[in-house]
Structure 1
Amino acid sequence: MIVAKVLKRTGILLLLVLVLINFALFNYGRQLLEPVDYNLTQTDKLVEIEPNTSINRIGKMLYQKGLIRSPFIFRIYLRVKDLSTGVQAGHYKLNSGMSTPEIIDKLVRGETADYTITVFEGARVEQIADLLAREGVDRDKFLGLARHKKLDFLPERDDVKYNLEGFLYPNTYRIPYGSSERDVIRIMVNEFKRQVNFLEEQIEDSDYDLYEIVTIASLIEGERKVASEEPLIASVIYNRLEIGMRLQLDATVQYSLPEHKSRLLYRDLEVDSPYNTYKISDLPPGPINNPSLSAMRSALNPAETDYLYYVATTGGYHEFTRTYQEHLEVQRGLNN
């Protein structure tokens, strides 16, 4: 009887001990799921998870980066939740203020990180390459593709500096980290097609094809400082083309030079280039930048004028004139 009582008490004691141990383990395990640092202003860390990476390796990497408390608990949590095969490859922005379940949720949902890049109106291919290089895109690969890649909606060209000049639409983009140079180009060209889609009928009714319209738009974009003058600059370009007069646009000289100059010299106007409209008698072989939709509209809808000249005045504005004599008088007035 006494033995039975002792055994019974021992059994209860053991059960109590087991309950306490389980509670302690549960509590400890729960603590290991909590954030490494409760400071919610922690800087994000960019983490790359390559395809087919094991959860063991992912757990170790996150632990080494100080993002989780325990790689073992990370693996256990995934298995208990039946998420072991749910982690998606990609680049993620994570920080030590996130709990392990929050991190896992992001990895399973595939909430990959991206970066923002703003391609300004009139940006040249090389300037876009510089912007992308800051985000890890290979500048030389990007320029190589921009130079040689053929577009399905355009004829092949071998006389231009960059085949894609003019067709990387200026806009603000959110690009997933890890995107290849080809991926980035596809995003920008697709945006170009989407933006100019509604201009298709106007282009078909024009005397110029899409490539020429984009080229003219790039000239307008390169010359204007004030958007309201775009239709006037367009009228000068068309008026000169109609009478076979050289365009003589400084923006084309800048594109011909190896480096941008804040001020052109007379000798710069003699640069030997198919883009230099001081020396050629027609449009340059292709666009000199990536123009805005506004410049495209102006290329299709120029103002009706008989202007042949313009000269920069103040505040980015221009004075437009009909004759060379008027043009010289405006220049003299500005110099006095």
Structure 2
Amino acid sequence: MIGNKEEIEITVKRRRKYLIIIAIIFMMNWGLFSYVDRLLGPVNTLKSEDKVIEVEPGSSLVRVSNKLYENQLIRSPMAFKFYIKLKGLATEIQAGYYRLNSKMPATEIAEKLVGGQVATYSITIPEGKTIEEIGQILAKHELDKEKFLSLAENKEVVFIKSNSKVKYNLEGFLFPETYQIPYGANEEEIIDIMLKEFERKISLLKDEIKESKYNLEEIITIASLIQAESKLDQEGPLVASVIYNRLNKNMKLQLDATVQYSLSKRKSRLLYSDLKVDTPYNTYKNYGLPPGPINNPGIEAIKSALDPKKTNYLYYVLTTDGKHRFTESYKEHLQVQNRLNNK
């Protein structure tokens, strides 16, 4: 009995010893992980400061961690590296620009870097802007306007037929839209984004284009004329009807917008001498369509070019309320002009 009692006491003591050791190990691990967890927490929980950080291609985990620390985005490079390696993500960080802030925990920052959630900025291209005007917009975002214009003039695209007479190969095909552009994207990459959006939008109208007697370049050219001439979407199909009616009657289009495109600088009012400018874009001198689009039209103008109103209109004039008055004969056209001039 005595022996059994002693054995029980020894066993109890051993268990207590083991429990104490386990408790100590647990407390040490808990303390370690608590410490690491604190180091992985946000640098600043009160003030949020956005920073755009570049992770260059081929950057090591050490280099990325140090850059984050230097920019006061993580508390500890060592803790960040420990977390990344623990998760098995050391080779998963993707190159690019990232918008991060001091209120993000290191775990969230790691998620962005591994997920390739690159930073973007917004660029809005309004409907009807020309290539040169788009170049000016891009220049405000510190992009090279001249490089963009050179690419727009010479870049060849599979779905655009080559035409030596056009001013810019890509005029008409950079779809007007608000784009989220990845930081660091160059001029050609931005062009590719716009061309891809054009392809996406135009693919929705492929059946209508197939049924038209005009090819894609001609449709976009007509759409650009509609975009330039009509400020109201509801007038687009009517302006389209005038263009098609004149083309069908082999009449000169005589559109001021094509002359404006021909000039080196846009004028608030065209002079009679401007209408004589010698260029294939001048529809006062030349029959038919200009050699290519004169701006980058929006989807409503393109739809109008594909589905014009059925009318006999051949003329229109801008009225004082910003709308157009459409007429079938030159006599009616002159009468409308006289009434407007006498107001």
TM beyond 0.5: yes
Deviations 1:230-285 (A, max 9, x none): 11111111222222222111111221122233333333333332212122222111
Partner of 2:6: none
Structure 1 segment 297-336 matched on structure 2, within 5 A: 297-336=303-342
Partner of 1:169: 175
Secondary structure at the counterpart of residue 93 of structure 1:
strand
Say whether residues 1:141 and 2:147 are aligned partners: yes
Partner of 2:17: none
Residue 207 of structure 1: CA displacement? 2.6
State the TM-score, normalized to the length of structure 1.
0.87
User: Within 1, Cα distance between the matches of 2:322 and 2:231?
Assistant: 5
Deviations 1:105-140 (A, max 9, x none): 211122111223232221212222333333444322
Structure 1 segment 178-217 matched on structure 2, within 5 A: 178-217=184-223
CA RMSD of aligned residues (A): 2.5
State which of 53, 72, 84 in structure 1 corresponds to 2:59.
Answer: 53
Q: 1:163 to 1:36 in 2, by over 3 A?
A: same
State which of 294, 297, 306 in structure 2 corresponds to 1:288.
Answer: 294
Deviations 1:22-44 (A, max 9, x none): 8776555433322121135x242
Return 60-69 or 125-134, whichever deviates more.
125-134
Say whether residues 1:126 and 2:132 are aligned partners: yes
Say whether residues 1:39 and 2:54 are aligned partners: no
Residue 93 of structure 1: CA displacement? 0.5
Residue 307 of structure 1: CA displacement? 1.7
2:182 aligned partner, one-letter code: P
Secondary structure at the counterpart of residue 205 of structure 2:
helix
User: Within 1, Cα distance between the matches of 2:73 and 2:280?
Assistant: 56
Secondary structure at the counterpart of residue 204 of structure 1:
helix
Secondary structure at the counterpart of residue 112 of structure 2:
helix
2:190 aligned partner, one-letter code: V
User: Within 1, Cα distance between the matches of 2:90 and 2:277?
Assistant: 63
- Number of residues of Structure 1 aligned to a counterpart in Structure 2: 321
Q: 1:46 to 1:247 in 2, by over 3 A?
A: same
Q: 1:23 to 1:194 in 2, by over 3 A?
A: closer
Secondary structure at the counterpart of residue 268 of structure 2:
coil
Structure 1 segment 97-116 matched on structure 2, within 5 A: 97-116=103-122
User: Within 2, Cα distance between the matches of 1:39 and 1:281?
Assistant: 68
Which entry has the higher C-alpha Rg, 1 or 2? 2
Residue 20 of structure 1: CA displacement? 8.7
Structure 2 residue runs without a partner (length 5+): 1-22
Structure 1 residue runs without a partner (length 5+): 1-15
1:35 aligned partner, one-letter code: P
User: Within 1, Cα distance between the matches of 2:206 and 2:26?
Assistant: 75
State the TM-score, normalized to the length of structure 2.
0.85
User: Within 1, Cα distance between the matches of 2:205 and 2:78?
Assistant: 58
